[in-house]
């Protein structure tokens, strides 16, 4: 299970670093062609800062057993909430593009991995 949590951390780190370096490229994946200065700041904060912070907290959780279960459950619920938001959006706006569907599947898989780590991690 540890390797799977590291894989989720690597995903978050990659997302975060990409958002820091290329915020317009990040949102272009979702069909948004350009951003204002404020928009780039938002992408760097939400995708960049959040992604890097989540990667760091997952690695910390793997090394700090007293934090692990809480971190795993919190991030599993955050990812599940993001996936639910995409499903709600589909219900309101109709089908999304293939990249958004891939992101939805990724969020569900990562939520399952972290929920599994929460369940299978011994209580400390």
pLDDT in tens, 56-96: 999 999 999 899 999 999 999 999 999 999 999 999 999 99
**Residue 42 pLDDT:** 95
Average model confidence (pLDDT) across the chain: 93
Of 59, 41, 52, 50, nearest in space to 117 by CA: 59
**pTM for this one?**
0.88
**Residue 120 pLDDT:** 86
**Residue 1 pLDDT:** 75
First to last CA, the chain: 17
**Residue 103 pLDDT:** 95
User: What percent of the chain stands above pLDDT 70?
Assistant: 97
Q: Which residues of 1-39 are buried (b: 16+ CB within 10 A; e: fewer)?
A: eeeebeebbebbbebbebbbeebeebbeeeeeeebeeee
């Amino acid at each position: 299970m540890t390797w799977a949590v590291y894989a989720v951390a690597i995903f978050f780190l990659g997302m975060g670093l990409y958002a820091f370096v290329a915020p317009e490229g990040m949102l272009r994946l979702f069909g948004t062609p350009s951003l204002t200065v404020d928009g780039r700041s938002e992408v760097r904060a939400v995708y960049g800062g959040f992604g890097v912070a989540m990667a760091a907290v997952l690695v910390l959780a793997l090394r700090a057993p007293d934090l692990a279960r809480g971190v795993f459950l919190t991030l599993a619920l955050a990812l599940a909430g993001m996936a639910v938001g995409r499903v709600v959006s589909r219900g309101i706006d109709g089908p999304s593009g293939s990249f958004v569907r891939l992101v939805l599947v990724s969020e569900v898989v990562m939520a399952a991995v972290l929920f599994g780590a929460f369940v299978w991690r011994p209580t400390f």
